[in-house]
């Protein structure tokens, strides 16, 4: 994991751990806020625990391309051998086993924990537990919530523009 220094008032200057070199650049504030709200709502339900994950592997293509939407699929289905870009020497095979076994454990018992992963806590109201699947896997709690607050202070509110009644 790389460290990202957030500039701003002295009280806001902290080191944040980004999951990839472009995590802050690609940080999707709007979706992150919606996802946190969804996890909070799901965690309040008593029928089943809520588990959250982030696939954060950087791939050895295009100058260490960060994980993109759906880049985790080969790992979930245990077929990284069919996706050459998914092969990171010394990393992919172990990560594939960790992810695949978590999926199988979850499908079998409703709990993704297994011996090859650190403890993966279920999220609770006010405590978003996120398993970060990366070169080293770890369960982090509310790990980007402070970054979201800083982003909201620094970035303008999301908008598709001031266009009303747009026609296609």
Pick from 83, 82, 98, 84: which is nearest to 135 by CA? 98
Per the domain annotation, does 162 fall within a domain?
no
pLDDT in tens, 122-145: 998 889 999 999 999 999 998 887
Pick from 50, 55, 143, 49: which is nearest to 98 by CA? 55
CB proximity list for 96: less than 8 A, separation 6 or greater: 74, 75, 78, 80
Range of the domain at 141: 2-154
Domain total of the chain? 1
User: Cβ–Cβ contacts within 10 Å for residue 78, how many?
Assistant: 14
The pLDDT value recorded for residue 43 is 80
- Asked whether the whole model's pTM tops 0.85, one would answer no
pLDDT in tens, 19-74: 344 444 445 555 677 777 788 788 888 888 989 999 999 888 888 888 888 899 99
Per the domain annotation, does 163 fall within a domain?
no
Per the domain annotation, does 149 fall within a domain?
yes
Per the domain annotation, does 161 fall within a domain?
no
């Amino acid at each position: 994991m790389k460290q990202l220094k957030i500039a701003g008032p002295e009280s806001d200057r902290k080191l944040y751990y980004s999951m990839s070199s472009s995590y802050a650049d690609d940080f999707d504030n709007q979706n992150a806020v919606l996802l946190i709200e969804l996890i909070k709502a799901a965690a309040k339900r008593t029928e089943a625990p809520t588990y959250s994950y982030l696939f954060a592997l950087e791939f050895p293509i295009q100058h260490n391309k960060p994980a993109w939407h759906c880049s985790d699929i080969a790992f979930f289905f245990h077929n990284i051998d069919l996706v050459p870009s998914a092969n990171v020497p010394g990393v992919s095979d172990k990560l594939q086993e960790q992810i695949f076994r978590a999926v199988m454990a979850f499908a079998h018992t409703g709990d993704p924990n297994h011996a090859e992963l650190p403890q993966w806590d279920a999220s609770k109201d006010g405590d978003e537990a996120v398993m970060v699947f990366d070169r080293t896997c770890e369960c982090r709690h509310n790990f980007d919530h402070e970054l979201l607050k800083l982003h909201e202070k620094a970035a303008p509110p999301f908008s598709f523009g001031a266009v009303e009644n747009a026609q296609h």
